Amino acid sequence: MARGGTDSHRDEVRVFGNTVAVLQYSAAKKNGCDTYRAVFRDAATGREHATAEVAGAVSVETWQGRPALVARCDGTVPASGTNAARHAITVTAFDENGRQIGTAEVAGGELGSQETMIDGRVVRSGPDTQGTYRIWVRPVGAPAPGTPVHTCDVRGDNSCNRPIEASGETAAFTAQTLFVTEPGGTEGLDHLRAVDPATGQTRWSTATVQAPTGAPTVDRIQGKTPERRAVVVGSAGDKVVLGWYGHEETAKYVGGPYYLGLYDAMSGRLVGSGPAPTAESVEDAALHSDASTIYLYASGFAAAWDMATGALLWQQTESERPIHVFAAANGAAYAAADASAGMDKRTQVTESVVINARTKAVLTESGPSGEGIPQVAANGYATVETPDRIWVFAPRPVT
């Protein structure tokens, strides 16, 4: 049953933690960016926590591991005093109660370096004053450039000049862990290394942890191209999904297929020991998650992983109509039918089905599409937009 609706004309909705943030568009500009009046409401009661002005592009992320609403204003900071006007990306974060918990500017292009804000930290990559390429990490408010956590090897490691946030690249920051590529170990393979972003210390690497069942052994990979052991596919909570190169002759893409393994990001422990799902490419292996389950889109078909045990709950077969899970609430998963993930991992949902999230049994053959796909709070309350209302539905677990 719906809790109630509020006027949604030109409003946008973001759900994070146990909060529904309603972004009310304003005609005003701040530093050249669109602005919104953000109203933070409790998902269960609708009680208003706070309001705040938000400028720029808004997304749901984490801030020091906690859910946060993050706005990025890519604009011009006006001149003030002796400071000239300058271009900057201003990043501002709000917690579930609508409190501003951090703001900082990130720079780009200085001496060939680039910066990005991830999980409440500024991650900088590029050359130092001597021309050595490094990655630095610093908390918001700490002086630049921060703690050096990785130095690129002269043998061709390009971890320091690739997009830090891109999955499948040579460097990625996810699950409060920095992943970089260490080139050419004793076997001639590039290994993925998990780094503590606060200290730069190595936690683990693909040279030492267990590969998922089915992934080829090192001796089968040597001499193949590309000579990389694994890449980061994505994360959910404190778990990270790695794609291990298969290098099979019948693969559609160079290096494929990818054998997907679920790992504890801190320890490198492989969660579960069953056969690994595979994906033809990293872009194909898009994933979504709820509190207990990861939903994969692997090799054209959906699969579900139990995050606690690593057990594969179900996996589609070639005899089924391919689906792509976009959201799950209270035991029900909402999936696009006949969907395929693009390079940006976005797909417009025009037709969907609703299935039992733990068994894939079809609950509704013709489900919602577009904005009718619910956004789900941590406590199970689901938010849906209609042309003139925003509705929040109380949890009703599938039985």
DSSP class per residue in 374-395: PEE-TTS-EEEE-SSEEEEE--
Residue with tokens 């370096």: 113
Report pTM: 0.87
Judge contact between 381 and 43, C-beta under 8 A: yes
- 2 sits in which H/E element: strand 2-7
Report the pLDDT value the prediction gives residue 165, as an integer from 0 to 100: 75
Write the burial class of residue 133 (CB in 10 Å: 0-12 exposed, 13-18 middle, 19+ buried): buried
Report the pLDDT value the prediction gives residue 10, as an integer from 0 to 100: 60
Question: In this structure, what token pair is assigned to residue 228?
Answer: 């990389």
Report the pLDDT value the prediction gives residue 186, as an integer from 0 to 100: 57
Residue with tokens 């909402």: 334
Coil, strand, or helix at residue 161? helix
For 230-250, b/e burial (b = at least 16 CB within 10 A) is: bbbbbbbeebbbbbbbbbeee
Judge contact between 71 and 16, C-beta under 8 A: no
Report the pLDDT value the prediction gives residue 200, as an integer from 0 to 100: 92
Over its length of 399 residues, how does the chain's per-residue pLDDT go in tens digits?
A: 344 445 545 688 999 999 999 999 888 899 889 999 999 999 999 999 999 999 999 999 999 889 999 999 998 888 888 888 888 899 999 999 999 999 998 875 555 678 889 999 999 988 888 888 899 999 998 998 899 999 987 666 778 877 787 777 778 899 999 999 887 765 678 889 999 999 999 999 999 999 999 888 877 766 665 578 898 988 888 999 999 988 777 777 777 788 999 999 999 999 987 778 888 877 777 788 887 888 887 767 888 999 889 888 998 888 888 888 888 888 889 888 865 544 444 555 667 889 999 999 999 888 887 777 889 999 989 998 887 888 999 988 776
- How many other β-carbons are positioned within 10 Å of the β-carbon of residue 336? 24
Report the pLDDT value the prediction gives residue 45, as an integer from 0 to 100: 95
Distance from C-alpha of 340 to C-alpha of 223, rounded to nearest angstrom: 32
Write the burial class of residue 327 (CB in 10 Å: 0-12 exposed, 13-18 middle, 19+ buried): buried
Query: Which residues lie closer than 8 Å to 276 by C-beta, 6 or more apart?
Result: 212, 213, 214, 215, 244, 259, 260, 261
Report the pLDDT value the prediction gives residue 106, as an integer from 0 to 100: 87
Please report the domains of the chain, with CATH numbers, ordered by start residue: 286-367 (2.40.128.630)
Q: Comparing C-alpha atoms, which of 324, 311, 222 is closest to residue 272?
A: 311
Question: In this structure, what token pair is assigned to residue 54?
Answer: 């938000």
Report the pLDDT value the prediction gives residue 270, as an integer from 0 to 100: 96
